[in-house]
Amino acid sequence: MEKPEILEWLRTEDEGDLSRLWQMADNARREKVGDDVHLRGLIEISNYCARDCGYCGIRASNDSVSRYRMTTEEIMESVRLTVGYGYGTVVLQSGEDYGIKTDWLTEIIKKTKKETGLAITLSLGERDDSDLLAWRDAGADRYLLRFETSSRELYDRIHPPLPGRLSDRFAILRTLRQIGYEVGSGIMVGIPGQTYDCLANDIQLFREFDIDMIGIGPYIPHPDTPLGRTLRASTAISSDQVPNTELLTCKVLALTRLTCPLVNIPSTTALATINRADGREHGLSRGANIVMPNLTPRKYRELYEIYPSKASCDENADESNSRIRNQICAIGRTIGSGRGDSHNRKMAA
């Protein structure tokens, strides 16, 4: 699908066209990756962060956040829960926390591999090549790093670099691929300043960059961030501005399934947050094939507040697991077994 057509879909409000889009995406999903929904146990291991991203609630300069870093034993408890629920993958996510030392995480990765054999996904921000390499050698399988937006100008506005270091997430994605990780990326939909044109470029970049897993969620303003405050203050919104709605998020999801049919696409927590009633199900029936239930210990969940009112904040791991299983079965889908590796990578191998 070329850019003009992507743009047309992004702009359409016609109900008939939209149901056609959902149908095409759902058919492509079924045909290329099947009915299985793979579950990934998400553990938010630390909310310390060295960066000051304009959109994110756990940015370094937000003093109102109480910071935590899970201990090895706490992480291993959550890893064991992941196995107990029958998932094939554990995802370790955090702020860009340089208190997460290379060797410390290396040991956790090795221990997890040895005890459980789970596939391990890391999502720890822009770490040095040497860390990425050490963790890959220790057994990490996949790495998630969203490029957030393909517009360099917008990215620079919302994502200040660390002193003396350029932030080039595309360069890191290339490195990850070279080192042998399965590579995940993605974007937020509806960032203030994001135009339809940017969004169409984002979708094309997923394909050009040959990304294996693609996370797409609505941007949700956080009141303790510069970007969250601007959005509330701004009155006039231009007709080029992409809205941060469920509809736009689902369109991007569906178009991504159509342009990159083999990839893994999660129905994200952010989508479930802006439509608690059936956001998750809409994601799954418009292209997605992955869900990442939150298995972070209850006491830490509300501290990992990248955006407000995050779905699942008020649950424990057992509750998240059973609610999500029920949601998946209720729409006639099956729960995947095994690691759920990206079909995109398998084809490339």
At closest approach, how far in Å is the CB of 191 from ligand SAH? 9
At closest approach, how far in Å is the CB of 287 from ligand SAH? 18
> By C-beta, is 28 or 253 nearer to ligand SAH?
253
Bridge partners, residue 233, by sequence: none
List 6, 306, 324, 328, residue binding ligand SAH (CB under 6 A): 306
Q: Is 216 in the site for ligand SAH (CB under 6 A)?
A: no
Q: Is 95 in the site for ligand SAH (CB under 6 A)?
A: yes
List 38, 88, 96, 287, residue binding ligand SAH (CB under 6 A): 96
> By C-beta, is 28 or 158 nearer to ligand SAH?
158
Residues 218-257 vs ligand SAH: string with x where CB under 6 A? -xx-x-----------------------------------
Residues 255-294 vs ligand SAH: string with x where CB under 6 A? ---------------x------------------------
Q: Is 59 in the site for ligand SAH (CB under 6 A)?
A: no
Q: Is 123 in the site for ligand SAH (CB under 6 A)?
A: yes
At closest approach, how far in Å is the CB of 79 from ligand SAH? 19
- Rounding to the nearest 10 degrees, give the CA dihedral for residues 21, 25, 30, 32: 140
Q: Is 148 in the site for ligand SAH (CB under 6 A)?
A: yes
At closest approach, how far in Å is the CB of 14 from ligand SAH? 28
Alpha carbons 75 and 296: distance in angstroms, whole number: 9
Q: What phi, psi does 55 have (nearest 5°)? A: -100, -20
Q: Are 50 and 273 in contact (CB under 8 A)?
A: no
At closest approach, how far in Å is the CB of 242 from ligand SAH? 13
> By C-beta, is 59 or 333 nearer to ligand SAH?
59
List 41, 54, 88, 125, residue binding ligand SAH (CB under 6 A): 125
> By C-beta, is 28 or 57 nearer to ligand SAH?
57
Q: Is 41 in the site for ligand SAH (CB under 6 A)?
A: no
- Rounding to the nearest 10 degrees, give the CA dihedral for residues 239, 271, 286, 253: 60
- Give the contacts of 168 (CB within 8 A, at least 6 positions apart): none
* Count of chain residues binding ligand SAH (CB under 6 A): 18
List 145, 176, 254, 328, residue binding ligand SAH (CB under 6 A): 145
Alpha carbons 328 and 313: distance in angstroms, whole number: 20
Copy the structure tokens of residue 348: 């490339």
> By C-beta, is 88 or 266 nearer to ligand SAH?
266
> By C-beta, is 10 or 56 nearer to ligand SAH?
56
Q: Which stretch binds ligand SAH (CB under 6 A): 67-75, 89-97, 294-302, 339-347?
A: 89-97
Q: Are 254 and 1 in contact (CB under 8 A)?
A: no
Residues 156-195 vs ligand SAH: string with x where CB under 6 A? --------------------------------x-------
Residues near ligand SAH (CB under 6 A) are 55-56, 93, 95-96, 123, 125, 145-146, 148, 188, 217, 219-220, 222, 270, 306-307
